[in-house]
Amino acid sequence: MSAPAKPRYRIVIVGGGIVGLFTSYHLAKAGAGPILVLERGFLSSGASGRNGGGVRQQWETRATIRLAREAVQEYRRFGREFGYNPWFRQGGYLFLAETRTEIARLHSVHETVRSEGLPSRELAPEEVREIAPAISPEGIVGGTFLDSDGTLYPFPVLWAVYEKARSLGVEVALGVEALGIVRDRGRVAGVATPSGTIGADVVVNAAGGWSAELSRRAGLPVENTPTRHEILATEPVKPCLDPMVIRLSDGLYVSQTMRGELVGGRSMPHAPGTEGGMSTSPEFLPSMARSLVRLIPRAASLGVLRAWSGYYDDTPDGLPVIGEDPRLPGFVHANGFGGHGFMLAPASTRRVAKAALGEAIDLDPGAFGPARFLDPDRRAVPEHLQPG
């Protein structure tokens, strides 16, 4: 545990995952100190240390495509800016369809992605095989592919942003929980912790799967829901898979790391909530094994090195929540990133930092703002292309 050094900060960020740390970095670069990040666990204890490292620009909504495209550019220059190699490998993302309905869905995504200037391709089954010869052709009726999508290693990214933020003066207190939000005259005045209150003009809720709990502690009901997702890594094998592969029918996603491990997961019917823990369930391994071997037959002989789970922070429309809560001035949301917070972090947290400073941001409040859930007539276009 590292106690905060000061009694008061301009901005306190709750959550030391990639969203909280990247936000602190953008704020520090803007000269907005003093800044404190409160993390009740250890670095990478949340979803940021438990994800598949996928970075893709193939999405249903233009807003997500634009944020993701910006993030791809940022991850390409990450090593130069932060001095750590994130091992961002642009082997592409290959989506697989097994029915005409899935083909139609991918076609619509493809049209939107192309109209945003990204050269996604629609593939016939034989072209799928050219891109990923290790996968079984059985049942595949087509797919889409974008070669500038890719994967990275989350840990060096997290560590690099942590180090850089601290070098710019951000304080990160590990092992310190935000128990509640202190109000004064109708706005945020600080954060309650086990060792007392820390004063703050602004509090950023970057608590990932626990963001709804933190909002509730601030007296603000929200529609975010934590959902548990499981993932595993096999023992390493010779390189056999360049792209990240996603199969729509069962939500399977898998990529191969530079060390040769196959890393992937699939949708499981877990009840919402964070009570399920972060280990693996007895149902996951057999179910994932069946899915993976159906896709990559040679995986049948592979041992599993480790399996674990983490929490998506889901919203009803699949889009993150970014901006100040109109019910509590000074309380800024940076949450609801579902299964794509790592890839969107560099771009979206630049907007979070601006929102925390009271500056205008270039995101449609009807799509990203917290007030959208308070509007009974909301009509945001949902983003539901979730797996991987």
Q: Which is nearer to ligand FAD, 125 or 251 (CB)?
A: 251
Q: Which is nearer to ligand FAD, 51 or 103 (CB)?
A: 51
For residue 86, the minimal CB distance to ligand FAD (Å) is 12
Instruction: Give the span between the Cα atoms of 266 and 180, in whole angstroms.
Output: 35
- φ/ψ region of 366 (left if φ > 0, alpha if ψ in -120 to 50, else beta) reads alpha
Residue identified by tokens 């990478």 is 44
Residues that bind ligand FAD (CB under 6 A): 14-20, 38-41, 45-48, 50-54, 177-178, 206-210, 214, 229, 231, 265, 310-312, 337, 339-343, 388
For residue 300, the minimal CB distance to ligand FAD (Å) is 23
Q: Which is nearer to ligand FAD, 14 or 97 (CB)?
A: 14
Q: Which is nearer to ligand FAD, 39 or 171 (CB)?
A: 39
Strand partners, 265: 231, 253
For residue 126, the minimal CB distance to ligand FAD (Å) is 28
Burial class (CB in 10 A: 0-12, 13-18, 19+), 204: buried
For residue 247, the minimal CB distance to ligand FAD (Å) is 15
Extended beta strands in the chain, E state: 8-14, 35-39, 54-55, 93-97, 121-123, 142-146, 150-151, 171-174, 180-184, 187-193, 196-205, 225-234, 244-247, 252-256, 262-265, 304-314, 321-324, 331-335
CB atoms near residue 130 (< 10 Å) = 10
CA nearest neighbour of 378 among 362, 361, 364:
364
For residue 320, the minimal CB distance to ligand FAD (Å) is 9
CB atoms near residue 202 (< 10 Å) = 23
Q: Which is nearer to ligand FAD, 77 or 100 (CB)?
A: 77
Instruction: Give the span between the Cα atoms of 353 and 13, in whole angstroms.
Output: 10
For residue 240, the minimal CB distance to ligand FAD (Å) is 19
Q: Which is nearer to ligand FAD, 16 or 190 (CB)?
A: 16
